[in-house]
A and B are shown apart, each in its own frame.
Chain A
Amino acid sequence: MVVAIVCIAVKMASSSSYNSPCAACKLLRRKCMPGCIFAPYFPPEEPQKFVNVHKIFGASNVTKLLNELLPHQREDAVNSLAYEAEARVRDPVYGCVGAITFLQRQVQRLQKELDAANADLIRYACNDIPTGLPQVTGASTVQPPLTPRNRLAEFNRRVGNEGGGFYQLPGALPYSFPWNDASSGDMNDGGGEGGM
């Protein structure tokens, strides 16, 4: 009987998924209970994920945050916290806000280039050669010139019809980053956060 009980205990202990504490409980050196809020999201094979999250946010803050969410939202929340924590560990000054600034500058630059290209397109359309020239027979790749109304509609469709400018984050950044340094001038140097 005792032998049977020991065998069962050994079998249970050897089943890694049954007894292995999650990465959070391992780091916090506590027993990983069934129903541990961290266990589904911090598997023991990914210790660094919880190390970063704990370092930046703290285990108790993460617990409170997860408890306030619905179960189906928790995985996304943990992943976004892990991403932010990793960004903050890599860049303690700006964290993932550095990536936001970089992306905003890229969006601004692209919008300007698109506006310029569309302005050129309109100029081409307005300056089309008069139709007194003999028509080319066969399939033609020339697009019919736009009427002024259609040109305007086409232009508006391409440019700024979602608010007229680059994406506005809720709450503008109240301060400038090194990428906004006037001496750089060139909008193409987007800092070092492009990997995000």
Chain B
Amino acid sequence: MRSHEPRSTSSCAACKLLKRRCSPTCIFAPYFRSDEPKKFAKVHKVFGASNVSKILIEVPEEQREDTVNSLVYEAEARLRDPVYGCIGAIALLQRKMIELQHDLALARARLARYGCELLDRCCWCGT
């Protein structure tokens, strides 16, 4: 886990952006390393540092990396599409799913028809 890796003495990306001292117990430091400044910038712009901090404090430590990654993903989606954010992607996927379900039902109906016709022909051959 990232939190067990030895930390450098430089500030994490969050504390650099917030212009504050990065303490040894900084909650952001394991997940916003100083070489990825844009990652925190995006999350801070959409959610705000204090909201992210509260969210991270609420989740168990072993789930914080996944939490940060999903927040980064949502933040990127919102910055790309300020009106719909992630919801645009959800809507597209739902439409795709419905389209595929429809196509699958059609294909299966055709297969069933083929199956019946084949059965009919075999019965005819048998008489």
From B50, B55, B73, B101, give the contact of A171 (CB < 8 A). Answer: B73
Question: Bound state CA distance, A94 and B66, in angstroms?
Answer: 7
Question: Bound state CA distance, A98 and B110, in angstroms?
Answer: 35
The A/B interface has a contact count, at CB < 8 Å, of: 134
- Verify B111–A121 contact, CB threshold 8 A: yes
The minimal Cβ–Cβ distance linking A92 to chain B, given in whole angstroms, is 5
**Per-position contact with B for A106-124: 1 when CB-CB < 8 Å, else 0?**
1100110110011011001
**Interface: B90 (CB within 8 A):** yes
Taking CB atoms, residues of chain A closer than 8 Å to B69 are 174-175
**Interface: A133 (CB within 8 A):** yes
From B55, B83, B107, give the contact of A80 (CB < 8 A). Answer: B83
The minimal Cβ–Cβ distance linking B75 to chain A, given in whole angstroms, is 10
- Verify A110–B47 contact, CB threshold 8 A: no
The minimal Cβ–Cβ distance linking B27 to chain A, given in whole angstroms, is 14
Question: Bound state CA distance, A113 and B114, in angstroms?
Answer: 18
**Per-position contact with B for A50-83: 1 when CB-CB < 8 Å, else 0?**
0000011110110001001100010011001101
From B59, B67, B85, B113, give the contact of A141 (CB < 8 A). Answer: B113
Contact (A69, B82) CB under 8 Å given A61-B48, A92-B67: yes
- Verify A92–B117 contact, CB threshold 8 A: no
Closest to A124 in B: B114
B interface SS class: helix
**Interface: B97 (CB within 8 A):** yes
Contact (A96, B90) CB under 8 Å given A103-B97, A171-B73: yes
Taking CB atoms, residues of chain B closer than 8 Å to A167 are 92-93, 96
For the A-B complex with A117-B111, A175-B69, A196-B90 known, give 16 more contacts whose Cβ atoms are closer than 8 Å.
A55-B51, A56-B55, A61-B45, A69-B82, A76-B83, A80-B83, A96-B90, A107-B93, A110-B104, A117-B108, A121-B110, A133-B121, A133-B125, A166-B96, A171-B73, A174-B69
